[in-house]
Amino acid sequence: MADLKRFLVPWIDQVKPYSTDDISVVWSRPELKRMFVNENPLPPSERVVKAVAEAARLGNRYPDNGPRIRAKIAKKFDLTPENVYISHGSSEIIDMIMRLFVTPGDEVLIPNPTFSLYAIRARALGGKVVAVDVRPDLQYDTPAMLKAITPRTKVIVICTPNNPTGDFIPDADLMKFVELGVPIMIDEAYLEYHPEHESKAGLVRKYDHVMVSHTFSKAYGMAGIRFGYVLAHERLIGYFRNMQMPWNTSVLSLAAAEAALDEEEELKRKAAYNNAELDYLVKELSKIPGLKPYHSRGNYLFVDAADAGLTGKEIVDHVFEKDNIMIKSYASFSGRNGFFRITVGTHEENIACVEAIKRYVDNRKKANKN
Ligand SMILES: Cc1ncc(COP(=O)(O)O)c(C=O)c1O
């Protein structure tokens, strides 16, 4: 046996993978309601499916770097194709940003809680993650984050709306980070659910350290197809190209994304479905004594069960075991451990989820009285 440790990067033990074990579980057990990874419950349209099938006929050819789709995306944001880098989902953008800026010991500033992959990919490069808890009202703690900046801060991540807490960062706060001149990733993965909220893409015309990422995994409903992109100044996009793996988007994902981009009505339908279901979940969960759902602008809802005397994990474990529903629990932060997150499902799934949680909270209350 080789002494692997002699050869491995010295920070390998601090690298933990993003666990996809639960995703393997739901693929193998179709009876489970998958309401835990912020997927869209609505499948791709017939037009997207047809585009993929047709593209498969060209599957013997290497894909190009998407000049047509980059032009379409650029037009949407009043930018040029040179401002667009396309990718295998926006997870690849997160990884690329870390690879471009982070060397061992460098710091990456993120809010807590947020999407876990930022920290995972920063650590994969030997980076140090500086995670600043959100405020008690779950908004960004901007002063605390600004205070946490050091000469070693190489990347700031602003997820807006933040996953899982649900709200957008106010513009004035965002600009305090932008004006620092430190590379900043503005992750707009969920923005398409609220097109009335202006994208921050326009900032890339003025600032060459700003990166705005988007994905087709959420409102477009193509998480399994894998397509995302980042918008940045052409100089910075040039560095992405230096670092990129060739053929990172397949002819299939390119065809799917292009077809989906042309279907504006379908996107509106999917966003409207999500937003109505989210309202339903908020309304119904608010009626359960002790539960506090925080209004969200994504396809998920963050709920605090502390006033019901329950931890998020108790609820998540219970509805999995008794009701076949998979939702997500969170490690405690700021001493609070009542949080869990529900991804919007189909209407039937949402009803089942509300009822399952209600049953559990009621039963626990009764048990405590006896
Ligand atoms: C905030 C945020 N960014 C990025 C992603 C990654 O999405 P994908 O790689 O599917 O584009 C997710 C997925 O949940 C997310 O929540």
On whether the CB atoms of residues 337 and 205 are closer than 8 A, the answer is no
Does the pLDDT value for residue 311 go beyond 80? yes
Ligand 1 is surrounded, with C-beta below 6 A, by 38, 89-91, 115, 159, 163, 187, 189, 215, 217, 223, 228
Query: Predicted confidence band at 364 (pLDDT cuts at 50, 70, 90)?
Result: confident
Query: Average pLDDT of 355-370?
Result: 90
On whether the CB atoms of residues 40 and 299 are closer than 8 A, the answer is yes
Query: Predicted confidence band at 265 (pLDDT cuts at 50, 70, 90)?
Result: very high
Q: Which of residues 1 and 84 earns the better pLDDT score?
A: 84
CA quadruple 9, 15, 16, 20: dihedral, nearest 10:
-70
On whether the CB atoms of residues 218 and 268 are closer than 8 A, the answer is no
95-151 confidence digits (pLDDT tens):
999 999 999 999 999 999 999 999 999 999 999 999 999 999 999 999 999 999 999
How far does residue 215's CA lie from ligand 1's centre (Å)?
7
Mean pLDDT across the chain, nearest whole number?
A: 97
Which pLDDT score, from 0 to 100, does residue 171 have?
Answer: 98
Which pLDDT score, from 0 to 100, does residue 306 have?
Answer: 95
Query: Average pLDDT of 325-350?
Result: 95
Q: Which of residues 62 and 1 earns the better pLDDT score?
A: 62
Which pLDDT score, from 0 to 100, does residue 117 have?
Answer: 98
Q: Which residue bears the tokens 């008690």?
A: 136
What six digits make up the tokens of 305? Answer: 């069960």
Which pLDDT score, from 0 to 100, does residue 88 have?
Answer: 97
Ligand 1 atom closest to Cα of residue 223: 10
Which pLDDT score, from 0 to 100, does residue 301 have?
Answer: 98
Sign of the CA dihedral with 133 first, then 135, 137, and 142 last: negative
Does the pLDDT value for residue 248 go beyond 80? yes
* DSSP structure class, residue 155: E
Ligand 1 atom closest to Cα of residue 92: 9
Q: Which residue bears the tokens 């019901």?
A: 308
pTM: 0.97
Query: Predicted confidence band at 286 (pLDDT cuts at 50, 70, 90)?
Result: very high
Which pLDDT score, from 0 to 100, does residue 366 have?
Answer: 84
Which pLDDT score, from 0 to 100, does residue 251 have?
Answer: 98
86-97 confidence digits (pLDDT tens):
999 999 999 999
Phi/psi of residue 95, nearest 5 degrees = -65, -40
Q: Which of 88, 90, 188 has the most ligand 1 atoms within 8 A of CB, as the residue to mutate?
A: 90
Q: Which residue bears the tokens 């075991």?
A: 321
Query: Average pLDDT of 350-370?
Result: 92
CA quadruple 192, 347, 91, 66: dihedral, nearest 10:
-50
Which pLDDT score, from 0 to 100, does residue 368 have?
Answer: 82
Query: Predicted confidence band at 298 (pLDDT cuts at 50, 70, 90)?
Result: very high
Ligand 1 atom closest to Cα of residue 298: 16
Which pLDDT score, from 0 to 100, does residue 333 have?
Answer: 86
On whether the CB atoms of residues 58 and 251 are closer than 8 A, the answer is yes
Does the pLDDT value for residue 369 go beyond 80? no
**Amino acid residing at 356:** A
